[in-house]
Chains A and B, each alone.
Chain A
Amino acid sequence: DQQVKQNSPSLSVQEGRISILNCDYTNSMFDYFLWYKKYPAEGPTFLISISSIKDKNEDGRFTVFLNKSAKHLSLHIVPSQPGDSAVYFCAASQTGANNLFFGTGTRLTVIP
């Protein structure tokens, strides 16, 4: 059973606009969430994370929002750039666990 879900397999956005990638989870024990970015033929690269004690974390153009009651998080990229085109994975874990649970990814295409 998929505990982390990314229901949009793909997203296209115009350069300069906002990209919003969504992620839902089912396990209420998850208390740490991450976003990874993956280019073809490369491994995933850590992008940004958020602990469940926060509802927002910002790093430059990237902001992650967490809504614990809805078990939902989102990644906002603004302004979007063509170099942001990649597959984005949402991941979750819980304190004391040794592994991450990943979603199936969303392919973002930023159109110049």
Chain B
Amino acid sequence: GAGVSQTPSNKVTEKGKYVELRCDPISGHTALYWYRQSLGQGPEFLIYFQGTGAADDSGLPNDRFFAVRPEGSVSTLKIQRTERGDSAVYLCASSVTGGDYGYTFGSGTRLTVV
């Protein structure tokens, strides 16, 4: 596609529920990143994929968070047993290769846990 597409754009869920957030990167971009932006903060790194593999998941806050990219294109960020503190905008970005920091970001998914 022309840009990075994220769905849904908004998600409201109850505390304790499971959610999946989807990212469709720019076609041909091998590097894919997930960031989280809490209110009043800048984006914070969660995980980086190079192709199908998670090359760096050091930013995932705990084991409730997991992400996959099974075919090297679309990625899904999965959050189990959601907590109110998980409320944030989840941003996905892609780039042609890893190390190319001029990422293209999607518009994000605003997750609200009530």
Contact = CB atoms under 8 A, between A and B. Distances in A.
Contact of B45 (A100, A103, A105): A100
Interface of A: 4, 6, 32, 34, 36, 41-46, 49, 89, 91, 93, 98-105
Contacts of B45: 98-101
Contacts of A32: 101
Interface residues of B, number: 24
15 contacts: A34-B102, A42-B107, A43-B104, A43-B105, A44-B91, A46-B104, A49-B101, A91-B101, A98-B45, A98-B55, A99-B59, A100-B45, A102-B42, A102-B43, A103-B42
Contacts of B98: 98
Given A99-B48, A99-B59, 14 more contacts: A6-B42, A32-B101, A34-B101, A36-B105, A42-B107, A43-B105, A43-B106, A46-B104, A93-B101, A98-B48, A98-B55, A99-B45, A104-B41, A104-B42
B20 interface: no
Interface in B7-41: 33, 35, 40-41
